[in-house]
Amino acid sequence: MVTQEVNKKKETLEEATIRFAGDSGDGMQLTGGQFTNATAIVGNDLSTLPDFPAEIRAPAGSLAGVSGFQIHFSSKEIHTPGDILDVLVAMNPAALKANLKDLRPGGMLIVNTNAFTETNLKKAGYDKNPLEDGLGQKYQLFTIEISRLTQLALQDLNLPGKLVDRSKNLFALGLMYWLYTRPMEQTIEWLNKKFASKPDILKANLKVLKAGYHYGETTETFISQYEIKQAKIHPGKYRNITGNEATVFGLIAAAQLSGLTIFLGSYPITPASDILHELSKYKHIGIRTFQAEDEIAAIGAAIGASFAGGLGVTTTSGPGVCLKSEFIGLAIKTELPLIVCDIQRGGPSTGLPTKTEQADLLQVMFGRNSESPVPIVAAATPGDCFETMLEAVRIATTYMTPVFFMSDGYLANGSEPWKIPQVSELKKIKINYRTEKEGFFPYLRDEKTLARPWAIPGTPELEHVIGGLEGEQITGKVSYDPINHDAMVKLRARKIAQIANSIPDIKVVNGEEKGDLLILGWGSTLGAIIAATELLIEKGYKVSNAHIRHLNPFPNNLGNLLKNYKKVLIPEVNLGQLRMLIRAKYLIDAQGLNIVGGQPLKIQSIVEAAEKLL
């Protein structure tokens, strides 16, 4: 077959939001990931939102089995994966039905028509074929026989039908590379490495990728090609990073900056499992990982590592925090450094394993028996997981306490360009093991931090006993004396409260120090809040935004900052948990925007809520 390139016009855009959607076996995460890497190489700013089915093997073609990957990329700084789609690539009817609501009117809809069979239409709940029902009047509809064109590209290789069908995602990827002027070289290199030992599969994938690209060049279906210029970014070395990857790098950096051995005791749970998978690759630099038989064993081993002089870390999500609660209480009572990573997901119970939520804040704040406060820090972006983890380790080792590190499914799986820090920019984490025997008692506290000494078992003449029973001040001996217990409870609480003296003041991110409205957030809502605030300021409103990293204790100046605004809006992916804490502590009439749909907050939702208040 002879093809001839058709003259196309090239349009320059400022930004675009694309979603690849198909069956869970269609390779949408791989497709989106490769498109993201190519976009990073071009130099666009970007933000991604992978969306996984909750069921491991959902029925093929069903709504429950739809997998999606969204990327927002731009020639300017962006903060979110985008509110609304410019392009939807739908590989089957279920993908179309699940995602069409997010495509803007006039947006580009690319569908694999070969998948729109009577059986697949029925599985998706369609009574008739939607492609023949006026979609072209509302959207730019491009009906492409992706499956058939994939088969044609591979017809001379005599490959099994299933293998041929599984390659169709690369046709879609090649087409989108052409449409948005992305380079294919990075994906070609990746394929060469991945399938070096399987030359037939390698040849097939390369042929299909290039077939999709050349289809865009030669077909008369597309009359335009799009280009998004490189974004202006601060000089430095960058890489594309997910929140879970940044969390891992934060732990590795903490190990190097402190000299501690990091021990991760973990039980696999979505969306935290990738931290265990990734961290296990670094045994050669002294990182220790342990996949336990359950959540309780995982945290128990981590506490043991801290008692032995390492830094115990455990990773989980909301359901696992429930199971770990008793051992967290033990770490509070024994006053050992421990990092508990809560990568939040939709709940309660098993809930929405692959969707995001911010609904564990009250759980990590109060979800234990008795008076048992713990410091809490929350990351705001995928890259911020690195800095937030370093802060969690600093607090844990300085104050001899467990610390909650909070992220969520959106941050864990989403990605953004991350400027790799210089080692010289990172502050050392000072560790003070107790070695001298004179004047040693296991609960004799540092005057400044109120931390008890960290004495490693085996240190001569520093033998001591710690445990879950209440201990006597200074000596740590078991004590049932009510006056002693009252004093110890208050000491532990005061130790946590005074951490506020060592954390930075909260600052306004956008806007003025005083005004009509402050939009206050925590965790993964930062991007949407910044974008909404910028839009509101452009409209002439006196609006500012601030974001809380330290959720317990709060920054010392937070109360004064809140008083500088007539109204406060707190957007959260829960039913108002931070709002409740703010109202209780500072006695202000904070209002909430609360949506618990398993998805990140949209910019427009925040804008509308703010305008309603104003």
Q: What is the pLDDT of residues 147-204, one digit of tens each?
A: 999 999 999 998 998 899 999 999 999 999 999 999 999 999 999 999 999 999 999 9
Please check the confidence at residue 2 and state whether its pLDDT lies above 60: no
How far is residue 312's CA from residue 429's CA, in Å, rounded to a whole number?
Answer: 16
Structure tokens at 401: 């306490």
- Look up the pTM and report it: 0.95
Tally: H helices and E strands in the chain: 21, 22
- Render pLDDT for 86-116 as a digit per residue (tens, 0 to 9): 999 999 999 999 999 999 999 999 999 999 9
- Render pLDDT for 405-422 as a digit per residue (tens, 0 to 9): 999 999 999 999 999 999
How confident is the prediction for the chain on average, in pLDDT? 96
How far is residue 352's CA from residue 597's CA, in Å, rounded to a whole number?
Answer: 10
The pLDDT value recorded for residue 8 is: 76
Residues 58-74: what's their mean pLDDT? Answer: 94
Residues 242-259: what's their mean pLDDT? Answer: 98
For residue 167, give Cα distances in angstroms to 35, 58, 187.
16, 20, 14
Residues 496-516: what's their mean pLDDT? Answer: 97
Please check the confidence at residue 556 and state whether its pLDDT lies above 70: yes
Residue 326 near residue 279 (C-beta atoms within 8 A): no
Judged on CB neighbours under 10 Å (0-12, 13-18, 19+), 223 is exposed
CATH class held by domain 239-425: alpha beta
Residue 15 near residue 72 (C-beta atoms within 8 A): yes
Cα three-residue angle 214-217-220, rounded to 5 degrees: 120
Please check the confidence at residue 7 and state whether its pLDDT lies above 80: no
The pLDDT value recorded for residue 1 is: 41
The pLDDT value recorded for residue 5 is: 53
Q: What stretch of H or E contains 343?
A: strand 338-344
Residues 357-384: what's their mean pLDDT? Answer: 98
Same fold, 9-228 and 239-425: no
Fold adopted by 508-613:
Rossmann fold (3.40.50)
Confirm or reject CATH 3.40.920.10 for domain 9-228, answering yes or no.
yes
Residues 572-578: what's their mean pLDDT? Answer: 98
Please check the confidence at residue 3 and state whether its pLDDT lies above 50: no
* Cβ neighbours around 218 below 10 Å, total: 16
Q: Give, as one character, the DSSP assignment of residue 471.
A: B
Q: Where are the domains of the chain?
A: 9-228, 239-425, 432-495, 508-613
Residue 266 identity (one-letter amino acid): S
The pLDDT value recorded for residue 6 is: 59
Residues 447-459: what's their mean pLDDT? Answer: 96
Please check the confidence at residue 564 and state whether its pLDDT lies above 80: yes
Residue percentage of the chain with pLDDT more than 70: 99
Residues 501-528: what's their mean pLDDT? Answer: 98
